Amino acid sequence: MSWLLVLEQCLNGLQFGVMLFLMAAGLTLVFGIMNLVNLAHGSLYMVGAYFATAAFGWTGSFVLAVVFSLLATLAVGMVVEVVALRTLYERDHLDQVLATFGLILFFNEAVAMVWGRTALFTTVPKALSGHLQLLPGLRYPAYRAVIILVGLAVALLLYVVVSRTRLGMLIRAGASNRTMVAALGVNVRLLYTIVFGVGAALAGLGGLMAGPIYTVQPGMGDDILIQVLVVIVIGGIGSIRGALVGAVVVGMVDTLGRAFLKPMLSTTIGPVAANDAGPALASMLIYILMAAVLSFRPQGLFPAARG
């Protein structure tokens, strides 16, 4: 196998990792600050993808579709927070898991009612449909490259916001002692709603970018949610840095495993056995990684310092 192919798959892994990061960042922020396990985070990803696909269909403009989808997902996130999740912050994790499980059922079915159960297909916008010549012999789809850049930009932006701005200071303060922050006169409820909305918009951003390369269908958020949970367990819950590292590691391992495990196995155990064992093992790889991390560091690689 050529090194260019490996490099290309590494880029694909990075692209998938960046996508996972967009999801993991919102999930880990919401957990770190509100102490809320939100399984419905995958639904917001799905909603983002549907909004963008629909808006792209109406307007024909990808930029408008992106703006519409981001705002709409932000709004959906805030409404869900105010209507259903706000009362759950003080409850134990079991209640949160069950209630957000209920939300998943609702969103999956609601989407199926509006857009049908069959998968929607949407195309990459014309301006991004070409390829970039990265190296001699390595042409990479421009759209995937943009995803990587957007993801890295969001990571940088989040880092700056959380560590350098007043909002970020409130977020960090709220995470370590919410009663104190509330006593100091900060509107904690509003802060929570904003954080949840932003997390939702990030998930929506992941979803809308995923639309043209994966299929848009009911339940599309569930699979990625499970992978995001693996990311968070590996990275350490509540930590943005952990989410980034975990996301890139999981994205790489999963992509490279799916691409190269079968050819590698077929040289050792024969092509027939590898045909079955390769994909089976590849699908388990990130969970094995998770188990390995857990054995060494049960709190993840970068556990957030929490009181």
Partner 1 sequence: MRIPPASALTVGFVALALVPVVAALLNQPFYLDLVRRIMIFAIAAVSLDLILGFGGMVSFGHAAYLGVGAYAVAIPAFYGVHSGFVQWPLAVGLSALVALVIGTLSLRTSGVYFIMITLAFAQMLYYLGISINAWGADDGMRLARRSQFGGAVDLGNPYVFYYVVFGLLVLLLWLGHRLIHARFGMVIRAARSNEPRLRAVGFATFRYKLAAFVLAGAVGGLAGALLTNQTEYLTPSYMHWTRSGDIMVMVILGGMGTLFGPVLGAIVFLLLEDVLAAWTVHWQVVLGPLLVLIVLYARRGLWGLLAGRG
Shortest spacing between CB 41 and partner 1, in angstroms: 12
Do residues 19 and 209 lie in contact, with contact meaning Cβ atoms separated by under 8 Å? Answer: yes
Yes or no: say if 23 and 157 are a contact pair by the CB < 8 Å rule: no
Distance (Å, whole) CA 196 – CA 211: 22
Binds partner 1 (CB under 8 A): choice among 64, 75, 82, 106: 106
**Cα–Cα nearest to 251, from 3, 47, 17:** 17
Select the span of 10-18, 147-155, 241-249, 292-300 touching partner 1 (CB under 8 A): 292-300
Residues with Cβ < 8 Å from 162, sequence gap 6 or more? 168, 171, 172, 240
Q: Residue 283, interface with partner 1 (CB under 8 A)?
A: yes
| Cβ contact 300:242 at 8 Å | yes
**Terminal CA-CA length for the chain:** 50
Give the 3-state secondary structure of residue 291.
helix
**Cα separations in angstroms, 278 against 11, 170, 200, 254:** 21, 48, 35, 12
Q: Among 25, 237, 245, 261, which residue sits at the site for partner 1 (rule: CB under 8 A)? A: 237
Report the run of H or E that residue 132 belongs to, with start and end. strand 131-135
42, 143, 201, 214, 280 from 121: Cα distances, Å: 19, 16, 22, 9, 28
Q: How far is the CB of 204 from partner 1 (least distance, A)?
A: 20
Query: Among residues 18, 29, 65, 104, which is the contact residue for partner 1, using CB under 8 A?
Result: 104
Among 50, 62, 107, 192, binds partner 1 (CB under 8 A): 107
**Is there binding between residue 103 and partner 1 (CB under 8 A)?**
yes
Task: Report which of 284, 30, 46 is spatially closest to residue 174, judged by C-alpha positions.
Answer: 30
| 290 is a contact residue toward partner 1 (CB under 8 A) | yes
Site for partner 1 contains 123 (CB under 8 A): no
Does residue 4 belong to the site contacting partner 1 (CB under 8 A)? no
Which CB atom, from 125 or from 174, has the smaller least distance to partner 1?
A: 174
Span of 46-54, 57-65, 205-213, 228-236 interacting with partner 1 by CB under 8 A: 228-236
263: contact with partner 1 by CB under 8 A: no
Of the candidates 276, 307, 295, 234, the residue with the CA atom closest to the CA atom of residue 28: 234
Residue 98 touches partner 1, criterion: CB under 8 A = yes
Interface residue with partner 1, options 123, 133, 215, 275 (CB under 8 A):
275
- Of 44, 99, 220, 249, which lies in the binding site for partner 1, with binding defined by CB under 8 A? 99
**Element containing residue 106 per DSSP (H, E):** helix 93-115
Member of 67, 75, 112, 134 binding partner 1 (CB under 8 A) = 112
Instruction: Kindly write out the interface string for residues 55-94 of this chain, putting x where it contacts partner 1 by CB under 8 A and - elsewhere.
Output: -----------------------------x--xx--x-xx
Reported as half-sphere exposure (CB side, CA atoms, 13 A), residue 89 has a value of 18
According to CB under 8 A, which one of 16, 31, 51, 62 is a site residue for partner 1? 31
* Site residues for partner 1 per CB under 8 A: 31, 37, 84, 87-88, 91, 93-95, 97-99, 101-110, 112-113, 222, 226, 229-230, 232-233, 237, 275-276, 279-280, 282-284, 287, 290-291, 294-295, 298-299
